[in-house]
A and B are shown apart, each in its own frame.
Chain A
């Protein structure tokens, strides 16, 4: 019984400790255009929404065409109004498959990175 009480006390202590705001890795939650999607018009920008606030100085995204050439406007940035969003403008794009690459640093300095493709249909 003592052991059980000790275990419960430990769990409660941890629950209290973890109820305070905490920071974590930034996971990609949504993207526009969506991951793996096919769209029928060239988007004006690519927007990535993450689970955590990001460090603007170290968080970037860019868009490549099928040959690996960067085709975005080079202005990838964390939005000032919502630091969970990284956006990058793109010029009108021809039909084809494009890859979005991102590397972000959450405010607790953890790095996450990734990439995905979307397709512009003819």
Chain B
């Protein structure tokens, strides 16, 4: 550890006298990793995702009515140092039940910190660790925002396959990114008190339907039981895991084989994301999640992406949804101001 600290001190000293150059967002060596939509990427960056739009029809609980949900999200991430960043995000939700009144409101605020502690340019690899705080009570209960917080420490990674031999050079544009974390709710259960047991049960069923959204992976495992005071909603710990498989056409074109792609195809990255959550305890079990095939187009300053959202089982949904995002690379747009680390 002492050696590591000394080495870091030496690197900091060297960097202060070296030319002020910077590796930007999403690069490990010659590999560019785009910002993925359902899988948190491993990079610390100055970026703005605005908007991210999600739409899906969700099934009801039992014979209950389903809902059509639209989420409009924004997330801003800022580098504090070259390898440490902070981000904040919010989501505005519109929930339209098949039967009943449309509900609108903000979900809880989310704050996250991330530290990239390993990067190997030659091997196109990066690993980072972070913590996400879903801030309970900051959103509207009517759209399913929790009254309690969920803290999720996680590890993120990215690896490109550019080292593959010539025999399989067409696979070199492949890369994988992923994340694994455990969600810790700050409350083990919530009692929905009501004088009318039927009302409480209906409320719980409605909330369970809301929380079943694959975007709300922490809440997708709400387990309800009844007692004398009302219905009890349990909040299990969850294993949140996700990964993406991406085939970079820019990588193919620039480093493997010029196949003559022109705009816009020469900046496209076909991707498949897998976003899952597995309940670990408190009477809940099973996995919910989605498989999201889509396309990312990464330009000089922005990227856009669109994905289908395919539930892996009925608990995760019963119809295909859509996820789309416009993403701004602030380090490229504002390299001398907003797009640089606060501490250099």
Contact = CB atoms under 8 A, between A and B. Distances in A.
B332 A25 contact: yes
B312 interface: no
Nearest to A4: B72
Contact of B19 (A11, A58, A113): A58
B330 to A, nearest CB: 10
B284 interface: no
A109 B21 contact: yes
B253 interface: yes
B220 to A, nearest CB: 25
Contacts, number: 88
Contacts of A22: 300-301, 332-333
Contacts of B301: 18, 22, 24
Interface in B20-76: 20-24, 27, 29-30, 32, 48, 50-51, 72, 74
A11 B21 CA distance: 30
A18 B328 contact: yes
Interface stretch (A34-42, A73-81, A88-96): A34-42
Nearest to A37: B258
Contacts of A105: 19, 21
B257 interface: yes
Contact of A109 (B20, B50, B257, B328): B20
In this complex, the member of B51, B74, B258, B328 whose beta carbon has the largest number of chain A beta carbons within 10 angstroms is B258
A71 interface: no
A112 B121 CA distance: 11
Interface string A38-51: 00000000000001
B335 interface: yes
B105 to A, nearest CB: 10
14 contacts: A3-B92, A7-B51, A28-B255, A31-B258, A36-B257, A36-B258, A57-B19, A58-B19, A109-B19, A109-B20, A110-B21, A110-B22, A114-B255, A115-B255
Given A108-B336, A110-B24, 18 more contacts: A11-B51, A14-B48, A14-B328, A22-B301, A22-B332, A35-B254, A35-B255, A35-B258, A36-B256, A37-B258, A108-B335, A109-B19, A109-B21, A109-B22, A110-B21, A114-B30, A114-B255, A116-B255
